[in-house]
Amino acid sequence: MDLFQALIIAIIEGLTEYLPVSSTAHMVFASSYFGIQEDDFVKLFQVSIQFGAILAVVALYWKKFFDFSKLNFFIKLACAVIPALVLGKFFDDKIEAVLGNPIPIAIVLIVGGVILLFIDSRFQNPTIANEEDITIKKAVTIGLWQCLAMMPGTSRSAASIIGGMQQGLTRHAAAEFSFFLAVPTMLAVTCYSVFIKTYEHSQMKGYELILLSDENIKLFLIGNVVAFIVAILAIKFFIGIIKQYGFKPWGWYRIVVGIGLLVYFTYLK
């Protein structure tokens, strides 16, 4: 993977991580289209640059994350992330196997798009507009919804936002809580990928792959910086769109992209 390819992946990660459109599906397509070889470092890179996207949420909502007087906020996030941590450990190998087959990812993208077309009409009477009103039970339930995103193509953001709206949150509140929940979830995945996981072909830990060469270190650092900057812009854009238009635009987008991926990988690849 060269610098240009790394920049493309980082931009896609920053743009799509917090949108309900599946960053995984977009990175799979980009990797195939630009001829990026799926070696161990590329697999690590696609996960590790989530760290930059994590910092984007912390930077935008720094008052929330650095107000240590509100312990209940951190307790809710800790409880909500537990289902993903437990199930993610058990299904890690199966998830990686699906990543090698883009057809199911495209199908899930389309199905998720159809669901998003009806989300706004399905949940019309929200009762919770602020994070402070989310109970620990509701937070855990949203965390369980988030686990649906273990199927590549689902979108962690879409699953947790739908879960939030199902629990009575407004669109805005559900989106923001999805952002908050992403921080411990993605931080855990990134730390596991960098410090704990041994990659199959190289038999190396993630940090060993990063430190293997100056080029890898450079790509890792640049990728995280780019993902951070782009994610900040994407989050602000997304909040504005859902306030004005709801989730239908994202539903149609997923359907169009999913059909495009099916055509590409079935007939053109």
Query: Tell me: the pLDDT tens digits for 87-118?
Result: 877 766 666 666 668 888 999 999 999 999 99
The residue that leads in pLDDT, 152 or 169, is 169
Backbone phi and psi for residue 125, each to the nearest 5 degrees, phi listed first: -125, 65
Whether the per-residue pLDDT at 125 is higher than 80: the answer is: yes
> What is the DSSP code string of 54-112?
HHHHHHHTHHHHT-TT-HHHHHHHHHHHHHHHHHHHHHHHHHHHHHT-HHHHHHHHHHH
- The backbone region for 22, taken as left when phi is positive above 0, alpha when psi lies in -120 to 50, beta otherwise, is left
22-26, 51-55, 139-143: least confidently modelled range: 22-26
Domain range for 234: 3-268
Can you give the pTM of this predicted structure?
Answer: 0.90
- Percent of the chain at pLDDT above 70? 96
- Name the residue with tokens 């649906």: 148
pLDDT, position 94: 66
Q: Which two tokens stand for residue 78?
A: 């800790």
| Percent of the chain topping pLDDT 90 | 68
Structural domain tally of the chain?
A: 1
CA 102 to chain centre: 17
CA distance 177 to 49: 21
Q: Name, in order, each residue with C-beta under 8 angstroms of 172's C-beta and a sequence gap of 6 or more.
A: 129, 239, 242, 243
d(C-alpha 141, C-alpha 127), whole Å = 16
Q: What is the pLDDT of residues 163-212, one digit of tens each?
A: 999 999 999 999 999 999 999 999 998 999 999 999 988 899 999 999 99
